[in-house]
Structure formats: structure tokens, C-alpha cells
Amino acid sequence: MAPNSSTNWSCYSVAGHTCELFQPPTVLVPGRVIIYLHDLQERSPALLPSLHKAFESAGLPVLVPHIGRTWCLQQQLMRFDTKISAEDYILGPILDECARITGVTSGGVGLLGCEMGGQAALRLAYRHPGKFPIAAAISPAIDFHLGMQRGHEWVDGELFDTLWEIFEEPEQARQETAILHVHPLNWPRHQWFASGGTNERWHDGAVRLSSKLIALGIPHTAILKTNTDGDTTSLFIHDAIQFIMESLDSEARRVS
């Protein structure tokens, strides 16, 4: 991701890895922050007009850790870091940085991600619902193991090379997908995801995830549109931000 020139954005290092931080001119509600997890192409939200506009309207700080193509897994990826996994990086240094930004030691964090980052947001929330009770995902790449099975058929198939560095075979990757980390008795209180049927690569995974959550009686919001025109991120980002804002309000009332 490339640094940007907007005065509302800064780029700096957190525990040896680059992060971008959006600071709105006026913070609407203190003590809150959004962690944005980027897509497989590692695009900066500062360079995506729909995301930038949505973050401005939210009036909250947004922290964007550059985690590369790690899929935010708990398995270590040497090209990312020789000592810490991407998941542990989020759980440790990034949450510590959120506390520094907000001045609040716990709570007030909403996870948001697109594609690779979308599945990461959900997966982190399923694995650590106490730390991440709020997760929103746009076009989440739930079935990322398909990148190992079919990546050679896809134009961007080379972007799935990190999965082969982490796993020996696709089945090992499938066992680590978000849908298999859903716990029937311990889940994030606020989860939202959206997917369009025109996304042939990832849509089925989102549909199956929603079906599993329904079967388990786990509350969630899933927008699964059969036909969508245009960029799904642009279509759904404002709904995602609204969900996070309302969920942060709910969590604040819960602990007050």
C-alpha cells in the first residue's frame, strides 16, 4: 500500500510494521476506533474514494495495519515477521496502539475488512469474541483455500502464494477458514457481512456462513444479494460503517 498525502492520514511504524492512521478533524465519540483490514491487493483505503468518504462521515479514528498477504492467520509467515504471526500482531501491538489512540485500555474497537481482510475480521471475532465483539466484512473471502485449489485458473493466482508457504495442502487451509471457527456458545455479539452474487469466487462461502449461523441460532446480519451492479465495496461500505457505529453504541451501553 502506498502512503498518501491527505492531512487526515499519517503513516508510521507499529512494532516494526507500517500502519496508516486516519484521524478525523473532529472525533465524534471519544474512546472508539475502527481497525480496517485490507484486501488481497493490499490497497490503502485512503486511495479508495468510497472508503475515504465513509471514514470521514464516521468521525472516528481508523487504524490500518499493513499485514501483507498473511490472511491474518495464527500460523507464522516468515516473510511477514520472523517472531510473531499476523493474528498475534493484531491481538498485541495493534490493540495496544488502539488503546494509545483512544486512551481506553479495552473495548471501543470495531473490526472492518474487505475480501481477505473481511474474512480476517470475521475469523478474528470468532476466535476472540471477547476482544472483538464487533466485526463487519464486505465480500469476505471465506473459502480462501480455493486460492490453493484453483489459483492457477485465476488471473491473480500468484497472490495466493503465501497460503502455500503456510499450508502443505488445501485441506489444511480449509480447516482454518472462518466458518470452522464459529463456536456455538461463544460468538461475537455483533457481526455483519455483505456479498454480491456476481462475486463468483467468494459469494458461496458467505452464503454457507450465514446458513451455519442461522442453524446455530447465532444473531447476525447478512446481506446476500443475488445481483449487484458496480463495486461491492462502494455499495456496502456505508451500511458497514453504520452497523459498526450502532454496535459501538450498544457495547457502550452494555458496559456502562
Span 30-52, pLDDT tens digits: 999 999 999 999 999 999 999 98
Check if the beta carbon of residue 62 is closer than 8 Å to that of residue 21: yes
Instruction: Using the predicted structure, report yes or no on whether residue 2 has a pLDDT greater than 70.
Output: no
Mean predicted confidence (pLDDT) in 194-213: 93
Alpha helices (runs of H) in the chain, residue ranges in sequence order: 49-58, 86-89, 95-102, 116-127, 146-150, 161-166, 170-174, 203-216, 232-255
pLDDT single digits (tens) 145-154: 999 999 889 9
Q: With cut-offs at 50, 70 and 90, classify the pLDDT of residue 4.
A: very low
- Give the start-to-end residue ranges of the domains of the chain: 9-255
The overall average pLDDT reported for the chain is 93
pLDDT, position 248: 96
* 18 dihedral zone (left: phi>0; alpha: psi -120 to 50; beta): beta
Evaluate if residue 206 carries a pLDDT over 90: yes
How far apart are alpha carbons 32 and 114 in whole angstroms?
20
Confidence of residue 123 (pLDDT cuts 50, 70, 90): very high
Residue among 118, 122, 116, 10 nearest 63 (CA): 10
Q: Which whole number is the average pLDDT over 163-190?
A: 97
The one-letter amino acid code at 27 reads: V
Residue 14 DSSP SS3? strand
pLDDT surpassing 80 at residue 208: yes
pTM of this structure: 0.95
pLDDT digits (tens, 9 = 90+) for 69-86: 999 999 999 999 999 999
At 256 the pLDDT is: 59
DSSP 181: G
Q: Which CATH number fits domain 9-255: 3.40.50.300, 3.40.50.1820, 2.40.30.60, 3.40.50.620?
A: 3.40.50.1820
pLDDT of residue 172: 98
CB atoms within 10 A of CB 87: 21
Cβ-Cβ contacts under 8 Å for 78 (sequence gap 6 or more): 165
